[in-house]
Structure 1
Amino acid sequence: MLIILVALTLVGVVAFVLINQYLYEPDPDAEPTIDEIIAQSFETKEITTNLLSNDYVRASFRIHVDSKSALTEVQKRDFQVNNIILRALSGKKASDLAGPKGIEAFENDIKVQINELMQEGEVIQVYTTTWVIQ
């Protein structure tokens, strides 16, 4: 009787472990935690450049990628990322970049252009961390 109880308990524990380990998959659509965002993001240096409207902008960005290999790649491509940002800014007027919608459109534009370069993963989001237009 004791052997049967031990065997049933052992089967139950093994089944529980297998179900939790192999059948439970994290939701891929779940929002990443702040720790995940920080661990998988690259902070650009502050960039200052002229705009098309003879104003100038000073900005920096945090680029959130989907994996560690993508983070390594974007860190290696920092000069290309800066080039993309500078070229995109130099073709904009201050009025194009004004307000939340202007910044959001610019972030999406940069995201698309960086993703065209990426071979190991992709950019999830570009966050503007510093922004001054004068």
Structure 2
Amino acid sequence: MENKVEKKGKRKLIILVLVLIIIVCVGVYLGYSLFLKDKLGSEGVSAKQQQLQQTQAVQAGQTTQTITQQIVSSKTYELSKDDILVNLADTDSSRYLKVNIYLGYDSKKLDSELEEKQPIIMDTVINVLRTKKAADISSAKGLETVKVELIQRINPLLQKGQINNIYFSNVLVQ
């Protein structure tokens, strides 16, 4: 008799634990699908898709409006208050690039992160630009390739969002 009572008690406990596990699983699924999926999907996936489209467009050599020209960012961040001056990789003579760079993005969360990581981003930009030759900067297609490369090198440094465009102003190759 005591054995039957113990078995019924164990069965009830097992059923209760299974029901709780099912409720927790359903709650996790609903929480992910309603809240996190939209937030992660809108920033992470779309930025990766934009990068892929930009790379494919540059490789395909689009002569009409390029992908970065099609993307208009809602916010911009000026990378440096002064113009950026770097040596170019030309071997025949000393060539310099003087440029002002703005990073385009859409996420409000990215404001503070760009400010915090400005020196790291600046170093990355300078390292990329120093590998370029004057011919890479002079043509529109070359400048587009530089933009895509900069986006691909900067985005892995960011955690709160992604940049979706690079804007150059005052480009001077000397």
TM-score w.r.t. the length of structure 1 is 0.69
> Which of 50, 54, 64 is the matching residue for 2:87?
50
Structure with greater strand percent: 1
**What residue number does 2:28 align with?**
none
**What residue number does 1:130 align with?**
170
Number of equivalenced pairs: 102
Unaligned ranges ≥5, structure 1? 1-27
Of the two, which has the highest radius of gyration? 2
RMSD of Structure 2 on Structure 1 (CA): 2.1
Runs (4 or more) in structure 1 with deviation over 6 Å come to none
> Which of 49, 73, 95 is the matching residue for 2:135?
95
Unaligned ranges ≥5, structure 2? 1-41, 47-69
Q: What is the aligned-residue identity percentage?
A: 24
Change (3 A) 1:83 1:101: same
Mapped partners of 1:97, 1:113: distance in 2: 18
Structure with greater helix percent: 2
Cα distance, 1:71 vs structure 2 = 2.2
Change (3 A) 1:87 1:32: closer
Residues 112-131 of structure 1, C-alpha deviations (whole Å, 9 max, x = no match):
11101010010111111221
Q: Is the 8 A contact 1:61 1:126 kept in 2?
A: yes
Residues 76-131 of structure 1, C-alpha deviations (whole Å, 9 max, x = no match):
11111110111011111111222111111111111111101010010111111221
**What residue number does 1:4 align with?**
none
**What residue number does 1:121 align with?**
161
TM-score w.r.t. the length of structure 2 is 0.54
> Which of 101, 113, 129 is the matching residue for 1:73?
113
> Which of 90, 112, 126 is the matching residue for 1:86?
126
Q: Is the 8 A contact 1:65 1:71 kept in 2?
A: no
